[in-house]
Structure 1
Amino acid sequence: MSFSEIASFLDSAFGPSLTANTQNPQPFLTVPAERLVEVCQFLRDDERLFFDLLACLTAIDNGAEAGTMEVVYNLTSIPYEHNLMLKVIVPRNPEGQPLPVVPSVAAIWRTADWHEREAFDLVGIHFSGHPNLRRILLPTDWQGHPLRTDYREDEQYHGIRTQ
């Protein structure tokens, strides 16, 4: 199934809330955060689509100027051999404010558990409903999120030079 066919199929199921972008070399659908779980559940459970694999989930900080962050989902249907990229775009939080929130899809694809923890740890996006959202790569008392565009590393961590 081509991207256009999948996008058309989802448009008939969810209406105009999903936005198709075909300008990039890899086309993608933008999904509102509040519809993410519903759309992902449909993509996995509908027998015509059967996206049974969350191949990758990553997060991007577009910087303070853009004021947004993205979570990108790469889905695969192993038996049907088709792929789909989804994006959720959320407002970027100013320093000291609560982290941006995206619903967890860990109940749909188990691989999301670790992917979401990594995005939380390194970029600072909170995944609501995640079964165990905590740091996965950095120590639990680490300050900040190193893949943010405005991240500043402390000179020392527990007496150890970091720079």
Structure 2
Amino acid sequence: MSDEQEVKPDKPERKIMTPEEREAKVKAAAEARAARERAKAEAGGGDVPAPEAAADGAAGATPERKVLTDEEKEAKVKAAAEARAARAKAKEEAEAAAAEAAPKEPSHNQPRLDHAIAILKEKIAEDVVEESSINENNNHLPTLTIKNEHWYTCAELLKHDPEFQCDYLRNVSGADHETHMEVVYHMVSITTQHEYCIRVKTDRDQPSVDSVTPIWQTANWNEREIYDLLGIAFPGHPDLRRIMMSDDWVGHPLRKDYVPLDSEV
């Protein structure tokens, strides 16, 4: 080595830390960061992170995954099912509301119902029809409530008038509505295949509706059954007597206020 050549000082030897020293250094750094975060939070009014959490984050620790119990799993599944049901119900209600808001198309049988009302008013009486509607659930069946005092004349017209030709009485039934009684007739024209439902109301104290057995013979046993079970009289019937219960039976079993004389029967 020449005298002019500069002599460089030796580099200090790098100290190798023990695991305990490394852990202490990491912990000290974490505590320093936690202190800085605490000071920042106190200055800004925020929450202060726990030193343990900061230390864990600095050390790169992964939080342990919680193992759910059977009860917690069941509760979680139930909550998810309830959420799905709630969403489905909300969707259904929204669709129903949209359907109600949409303008409703008139029934294809509405013109026939209007025509029937016009004929009855013209040929019988202006007040002959009390109510009218289209029964959409029964194939859009035209339905009319006829005033009791006009019923027999109306029945004759429905059978014989060329506009109706209702030559087949399909069914007769009775109903107790508590405020009043009602007889319901379903009829059809074999020629035109047009069907009608006619309702006739009567009071509950002395219920009475003119018999249409002289017009449609099929009404005979139907009217006897209604008389037997509901107590509605049918003036003009050729043989109005009980048909199901015995002649000495007390009361009418299909009335809503019926109380049997013998509770064991």
- Using the size of structure 1 for normalisation, the TM-score is 0.84
| Closer/same/farther in 2, CA of residues 81 and 45 from structure 1, 3 Å limit | same
Which portions of structure 1, spanning 4 or more consecutive aligned residues, are displaced by more than 3 angstroms? 23-27
Q: CA deviation at 1:88?
A: 1.0
- 1:89 aligned to 201, 204, 218, which one? 201
Alignment of 1:1-163 (within 5 A): 2-14=112-124, 15-22=126-133, 24-25=135-136, 26-63=141-178, 66=179, 68-93=180-205, 99-155=206-262, 161-162=264-265
Q: CA deviation at 1:28?
A: 1.8
Cα distance in 1 for partners of 2:222, 2:128 equals 25
Q: CA deviation at 1:138?
A: 1.0
Equivalent pair of 2:143/2:198 in contact (CA under 8 Å): yes
Q: Which runs of 5+ in 1 are unaligned?
A: 94-98
Greater helix share, 1 or 2?
2
Equivalent pair of 2:130/2:147 in contact (CA under 8 Å): no
- Which digits, 9 at most, give the CA deviation of each residue in 1:32-72, with x for residues without a partner? 22211100001101122100011111111111xx2x11111
Greater strand share, 1 or 2?
1
User: Which secondary structure state, in structure 2, belongs to the residue aligned with residue 7 of structure 1?
Assistant: helix
User: Which secondary structure state, in structure 2, belongs to the residue aligned with residue 137 of structure 1?
Assistant: coil
| Percent of aligned pairs sharing the same letter | 36
Paired positions, count: 150
Cα distance in 2 for partners of 1:10, 1:71 equals 19
Which structure has more relative contact order (CA 8 Å, sep 6+)? It is: 1
Query: Higher Cα Rg: structure 1 or 2?
Result: 2
Cα distance in 1 for partners of 2:163, 2:208 equals 30
Q: Which runs of 5+ in 2 are unaligned?
A: 1-108
- Using the size of structure 2 for normalisation, the TM-score is 0.53
